[in-house]
Amino acid sequence: MVTGSYVNGTKRMKTLFRLAVLAVPVALVACSSKDDLDEFALNDTPPEVLFNEGLALRAQGKLRDSTTKFEEIDKLYPYSEYSKKSLVNLAFLNYSRGNYTETVTAARRFVTLYPGDEDSAYMLYLAGQSYFRQMPDITRDQGVTRKAASAFTELVQRFPESEYTPDAEKKLRIVEDQLGGKEMQVGRYYQKRRNYVAAINRFKTVVVEYQTTRHVEEALFRLTEAYYALGVVNEAQTAAAVLGHNYPDTQWYKDAYSLLNKGGFEPSEDSGSWISRAFKSI
């Protein structure tokens, strides 16, 4: 038999449970309202105030806090003049802190939004520098190195009079030398395994794309070797002739001449060869 006190107690428990359930959304709404009020209050802060606070923190050496402040401006006042200035600061601060991915993100966004702005040259320079500082050794994949080449090349072509262009040109020569060296490494790998066609393709890339690097002399010699091994004597003679014409006093030319001479041939340039045309186009 169920007593009246038990029934009444059960009703009270159910009532308290329902009240507790109802209280949860109310609490959530209260928290949400507070967050909304905080965000509204932050949105109400003038961008120039936030910007000056960011500059002050940067001057004090508080780079992390300064970065956060400029990120707030970019988020709260996108496409404003202060957001534009904040992107420049964000790229610089992240670069200073070694955050290269964030540097490139800010720099690329700036260049996309303000392609004709004078600070776009600086942004491209920071992007190139960020990739440059991450370049791996020559035995590894050179994807980052190619990105550095792309950024520096864009800077040099679009802003030839920029104060950052001379250093970009110096870095570009270093980058291209590394890319050419990588092609040579892979080409020698194929040549040792007698995959001469694959090797020729790599050496050809050096001659066509990285002709101003120190690797071009060896590339011409390796082309002489590879073409000669395939029995394509005409191209082997042309590679040796172009090598001798441009680098007559090098050991690479002496070795190429000796190789052909042993077979009864001499360097002889075919003006119709891609090798000859590649050098005449420079």
More confident residue, 19 or 67: 67
Instruction: Summarize the chain as % helix, strand, coil (round to 5).
Output: 75, 0, 25
pLDDT in tens, 170-215: 999 999 999 999 999 999 999 999 999 999 999 999 999 999 999 9
Name all domains of the chain by residue range, CATH numbers in brackets: 43-100 (1.25.40), 194-282 (no CATH)
**Hey, what amino acid is at 204?**
K
Q: Would you give the distance in Å from CA 143 to the centre of its chain?
A: 8
Indicate if the pLDDT at residue 282 is higher than 60: no
What's the rounded mean pLDDT across residues 74-95?
94
In angstroms, rounded to a whole number, what is the distance separating the alpha carbons of residues 282 and 273? 15
Amino acid 138 reads I
pLDDT in tens, 116-133: 999 999 999 999 999 999
DSSP 8-62: HHHHHHHHHHHHHHHHHHHHHHHHHHHHHHHHHHHHTS-HHHHHHHHHHHHHTT-
Question: Does this model's pTM top 0.85?
Answer: no
